[in-house]
Amino acid sequence: MTVITAPFINQDRLSRTIAELATIGKLPNGGVCRIAYSPEVISARQLVQRWMQETGMTVRIDAAGNIIGTYAGQKTDAPALMTGSHIDTVPTGGRYDGALGVLAGIEVVRVLREHSIRLDHPVEVVVFTDEEGGMIGAKAISGTVFKEPEYYRRDDGTSIETCLQRVGGDWSKLATAKRNAADIAAFVELHVEQGGVLEHHGKQIGVVEGIVGQHRYIVTVIGRSNHAGTTPMSMRQDALVTASQIVLAVNHLAKSSSGSSVATVGALSVFPNAANIVPGQVELTIDMRDVDQEHLILLSEQLQQQLQAIAKSNRTEITITPILQTEAVLATPRIQTAIEQTCKEMGFSYCHLPSRASHDAQEMGLITDMGMIFVPSQAGISHAEDEYTSPEECAQGVNMLLQTLIRLDLMYPV
Amino acid sequence: MTVITAPFINQDRLSRTIAELATIGKLPNGGVCRIAYSPEVISARQLVQRWMQETGMTVRIDAAGNIIGTYAGQKTDAPALMTGSHIDTVPTGGRYDGALGVLAGIEVVRVLREHSIRLDHPVEVVVFTDEEGGMIGAKAISGTVFKEPEYYRRDDGTSIETCLQRVGGDWSKLATAKRNAADIAAFVELHVEQGGVLEHHGKQIGVVEGIVGQHRYIVTVIGRSNHAGTTPMSMRQDALVTASQIVLAVNHLAKSSSGSSVATVGALSVFPNAANIVPGQVELTIDMRDVDQEHLILLSEQLQQQLQAIAKSNRTEITITPILQTEAVLATPRIQTAIEQTCKEMGFSYCHLPSRASHDAQEMGLITDMGMIFVPSQAGISHAEDEYTSPEECAQGVNMLLQTLIRLDLMYPV
């Protein structure tokens, strides 16, 4: 290929596509509701496919319902440089989470085409299926999808077979969606941070170190329900006192950790939950995340030891049930370096940070080189209608994606 | 009067009346459901009235629906020695709470009559209306009833006017139910402990020091909801971490208190209560009780100071709303002494303890000399079907009531 100096993306056009996509599933306060497989997400998929086609991409839908738009490269049979994200949302989502990464890919191809640039590698822009619900699209590509269709049954009872049909997929052929390192050179995803780290540090771009591993538990504390008036303090087996010590232990463990760990008790329910009854039982969740997999395992072990000690000292019983364990996936170092160098070239302030939320990229990282670029989220707000990233920040991110793909095209031999 | 040595009550007869009353509103697992003003409580009231009449008492129903059985004394116009309790229950109640105190009064009169004993004072046995719901019966006698009928409207919408009609009362004449020290010399209530103190210390009889005062609050903690993955520990305003510190502070305050205080966070609700969201808001109740009114006020002040400090250190906001404040009512010292001396005479092991639950006696203590006698509750269980006090323990309590009333008859001049 011929190296072209710095083509820039069209910020106004990018903003218009973000705004137009946000009209589908529009909520009253600026957010969107496009739950996977819903009529809204299907409309949005049609719009995105049309844009891909208008931009000169060939579009196919794989068995997992992933939309894959391909902008051909100069070298036939070269593995793809892939980017993309998702356009499904949580029930009251924002207009940037996922959508920005998809629209960024389309904008990048538009710019390449306007400048008559063809990279050596084909560029693939992917809309992954159901990122918010279970990442079946990305998991089908990485080959980690659960075999049992029941696992993916929707809360409303709809089977995954029916869901995939709606979006042009086919559960019985899911294995055909699997990809590998031979046909994908690298994957880079642009996403809003969904946290407040970039804003807090006043940085324009986040170079993602990896996607944190996650351990999630349900903890049940069994004490003894008793009259809150007639039971002296010394005779109580108060499950909520134990649970409160657990909440503080979880918080302290992550706060005093040397790494970038976070740990949260987000849900907690008390039984029987009456003002005049000493709580007999408490159920709570613990969510721990760390980009350093070994450190995450160490923290989990420390937590379990502490919990047993707390239970014992309060004459209550604790049971700990693991309900989720995902491994940390590191961003490929040379892609991190490429993103960092691009930041320097373009004059963007940046910092390294882990992604503490899940992303399609974590599945792609299992089969190919992977990197992620973050742009700031105002006040760290995400999964909410008032999620906001300014037009300038969005454009900076898309320019970073464009230049990074051009850089990777040079880095990866064909 | 002539002093008669130690008449004893009839344990078998007492047990039969307890068992017979428990057939009305009988539940499958040994408990009873006789909610105030229900058909069941009305049947039970009829049975108790019949027993009173058969025992030679004159029976009247006051405007609050209280059943008052009077066994005449030798001295006309002497103020009454009053005893009694209630026969309404919580929805799944036991067969002893309240019922024992009423049936004890009837058994005492039966024994007096069998032995042809008439005390100087008339003996009144009272069935107080709706102890479990709002103590309107005892409050009408003490003159502390709320003026607004709406306050007493039932959860099912029934007005208090209708309720009182059902039990022979009359809301419009409620003031006529008021009594005073001139016509009641003293009130003594026998009740099951509803806690585990007597059993724990291996004592047969509890000499009640008073009925605890109670402060109850609703506390709202406002933090900020945020993504449990993407929000670093240092940037969190976790309402549940603050709430957990409050739970422990409340527990510690009562535990380290010099008195007999109890303090409980019994109900706690988290918002939005999802495993992957840092809690943005928590609502919880605080219930504090102490028989020493000044100490209770001091504890409440300490609590509020600690809560403000906790809120500040976590960058969360706390609002504290008082929802209930009842004053501690001390048992009259000379009645406590009379009960204690009776224990010694009868050879019963005993200890002093506060009543940490509410009782009709607390209202009676506002207008006359008051005392309470406790018998053990197995495993401290109460307000439950498996509430249990053995026939021997019940009989010991009723013998104590009988001998205490005889002692008070001598103590109080006519």
Better-predicted residue by pLDDT, A78 or B232: A78
Q: Which amino acid belongs to residue A245?
A: Q
Are B278 and A270 an interchain contact pair (Cβ–Cβ within 8 Å)?
no
Q: Which amino acid belongs to residue A215?
A: H
User: How confident is the prediction for chain B on average, in pLDDT?
Assistant: 94
- With cut-offs at 50, 70 and 90, classify the pLDDT of residue B4: very low
- What is the maximum span of chain B, computed from C-alpha positions, in angstroms? 84
Average pLDDT value for residue range A152-158: 90
Distance CA B67, CA B51 (A): 12
Is B386's pLDDT higher than 60? yes
Q: Which amino acid belongs to residue B3?
A: V
Average pLDDT value for residue range A125-144: 96
Are A229 and B265 an interchain contact pair (Cβ–Cβ within 8 Å)?
no
B11: its two tokens: 């344990």
Nearest-5° angle of CA B38, CA B164, CA B39?
A: 15
Angle between helices B333-346 and B391-411 (to 10 degrees): 120
Asked if residue B271 lies in contact with residue B281, where contact means CB atoms within 8 angstroms, the answer is yes
**CA–CA min distance A12, chain B (Å):** 29
Select the residue from A92, A219, A233, A299 to test the B interface by mutation, using most B Cβ atoms within 10 A. A233
CB atoms inside a 10 Å sphere around CB A223? 24
- Contacts with B26 (C-beta within 8 Å, 6 or more apart), sequence order: B32
CB atoms inside a 10 Å sphere around CB B159? 14
Handedness of CA A38, A44, A50, A51 (dihedral sign): negative
Query: Residue A339: how many CA atoms within 13 Å on its side-chain side?
Result: 31
Average pLDDT value for residue range A203-230: 94
C-alpha to C-alpha distances, A156 to A37, A147, A168, A363, B126, nearest whole angstrom: 12, 20, 20, 26, 58
Is B5's pLDDT higher than 70? no
Query: Residue A254: how many CA atoms within 13 Å on its side-chain side?
Result: 28
- With cut-offs at 50, 70 and 90, classify the pLDDT of residue A5: low
- Contacts with A202 (C-beta within 8 Å, 6 or more apart), sequence order: A349
Beta-bridge partner residues of B80: B184
Q: Which residues of B touch A265 (CB under 8 A)?
A: 240, 279
Distance CA A267, CA A259 (A): 24
Are B380 and A227 an interchain contact pair (Cβ–Cβ within 8 Å)?
yes
Is A258's pLDDT higher than 80? no
CA-closest candidate to residue A405, choices A58, A62, A71, A16: A71
Is A3's pLDDT higher than 60? no
Q: If you measure CA to CA, which chain A residue comes closest to B235?
A: A196
Are A254 and B233 an interchain contact pair (Cβ–Cβ within 8 Å)?
yes
Distance CA A152, CA A159 (A): 7
Average pLDDT value for residue range A380-405: 95
Handedness of CA A40, A46, A50, A52 (dihedral sign): positive
**CA–CA min distance A69, chain B (Å):** 30
Q: Which amino acid belongs to residue B97?
A: D
Q: What does CATH list as the number for A11-211+328-411?
A: 3.40.630.10
Contacts A–B by Cβ distance under 8 A: 195
Q: Which residues of B touch A232 (CB under 8 A)?
A: 195-197, 260, 262, 356
DSSP track, A156-202: TS--HHHHHHHTT--GGGGGGG---TTTEEEEEEEEE-SSSHHHHHT
Asked if residue B124 lies in contact with residue B6, where contact means CB atoms within 8 angstroms, the answer is no
B395: its two tokens: 């009989």
- Give the H or E element holding residue B187: strand B184-192
> What integer pLDDT is reported at residue B2 of this predicted model?
43
Whether a cis peptide bond, with omega within 30° of 0, leads into A272 is yes
Angle between helices B239-255 and A239-255 (to 10 degrees): 130
A300: its two tokens: 């989990």
> What integer pLDDT is reported at residue A230 of this predicted model?
85
B253-256, long-range: CB within 8 Å, 24+ apart, which pairs?
Answer: B253/B299, B253/B302, B253/B303, B253/B306, B254/A233, B254/B288, B254/B299, B255/A233, B255/A234
Are B227 and A268 an interchain contact pair (Cβ–Cβ within 8 Å)?
no
Share of chain B above pLDDT 90, in %: 85
DSSP track, A209-261: EEE-EEEEEEEEEE-B-EETTTS-GGG-B-HHHHHHHHHHHHHHHHHT-SSS-
Is B3's pLDDT higher than 90? no
> What integer pLDDT is reported at residue B146 of this predicted model?
87
Are B262 and A233 an interchain contact pair (Cβ–Cβ within 8 Å)?
yes
Is A1's pLDDT higher than 70? no
What spatial distance separates the first Cα and last Cα of chain A, rounded to whole Å? 11
Q: Which residues of B touch A358 (CB under 8 A)?
A: 229
B391: its two tokens: 């026939």
CB atoms inside a 10 Å sphere around CB B54? 10
Whether a cis peptide bond, with omega within 30° of 0, leads into B272 is yes
Distance CA A44, CA A66 (A): 13
B73: its two tokens: 């004394």
- With cut-offs at 50, 70 and 90, classify the pLDDT of residue A6: low
Average pLDDT value for residue range A314-318: 94
Decide: helix, strand or coil at residue B55.
coil
Select the residue from A92, A230, A235, A265 to test the B interface by mutation, using most B Cβ atoms within 10 A. A230
Q: Which residues of B touch A254 (CB under 8 A)?
A: 233
Average pLDDT value for residue range A161-181: 97
Distance CA B161, CA B174 (A): 10
Nearest-5° angle of CA A92, CA A96, CA A102?
A: 120
Backbone angles phi, psi at B98, to 5 degrees: 90, -60
Q: If you measure CA to CA, which chain B residue comes closest to A251?
A: B241
Are A266 and B260 an interchain contact pair (Cβ–Cβ within 8 Å)?
no
- With cut-offs at 50, 70 and 90, classify the pLDDT of residue A127: very high
- Contacts with B12 (C-beta within 8 Å, 6 or more apart), sequence order: none
Ramachandran region of residue B65, left (φ > 0), alpha (ψ -120 to 50) or beta?
A: left
Average pLDDT value for residue range B254-266: 90
Is A24's pLDDT higher than 90? yes
Are A229 and B268 an interchain contact pair (Cβ–Cβ within 8 Å)?
no
Select the residue from B90, B233, B314 to test the A interface by mutation, using most A Cβ atoms within 10 A. B233
For A275, which of B245, B274, B287 is closest by C-beta distance? B287
Backbone angles phi, psi at B7, to 5 degrees: -75, 145
> What integer pLDDT is reported at residue A226 of this predicted model?
84
The alpha carbons of chain A give a radius of gyration, in whole angstroms, of 23
**CA–CA min distance A228, chain B (Å):** 6
Tens of pLDDT, residues B327-362: 999 999 999 999 999 999 999 999 999 998 899 999
Tens of pLDDT, residues A31-70: 999 999 999 999 999 999 999 999 999 999 999 999 999 9
Q: Which DSSP state fits B237?
A: B
- What is the maximum span of chain A, computed from C-alpha positions, in angstroms? 84
* Residue corresponding to tokens 């001598």: B410
Distance CA A58, CA A80 (A): 13
| Minimum mean pLDDT range among A195-199, A307-311, B256-260 | B256-260
Select the residue from B96, B194, B227 to test the A interface by mutation, using most A Cβ atoms within 10 A. B227
Q: Which residues of B touch A231 (CB under 8 A)?
A: 195-196, 262, 356, 380
Enumerate the domain spans of chain B: 11-211+328-411, 213-325
A107: its two tokens: 């904008």
Distance CA A8, CA A154 (A): 42
Are A214 and B229 an interchain contact pair (Cβ–Cβ within 8 Å)?
yes
User: How confident is the prediction for chain A on average, in pLDDT?
Assistant: 94
- Which stretches of A54-110 are assigned E, i.e. beta strand? 58-61, 67-71, 80-85
CA-closest candidate to residue A291, choices A330, A252, A335, A250: A330
Distance CA B157, CA B161 (A): 12
Are A196 and B247 an interchain contact pair (Cβ–Cβ within 8 Å)?
no
Distance CA B115, CA A220 (A): 59
Q: Has this prediction a pTM greater than 0.95?
A: no
Average pLDDT value for residue range B49-75: 98
Distance CA A31, CA A377 (A): 14
Average pLDDT value for residue range A96-110: 98
In CATH, what is the architecture of B213-325?
2-Layer Sandwich (3.30)
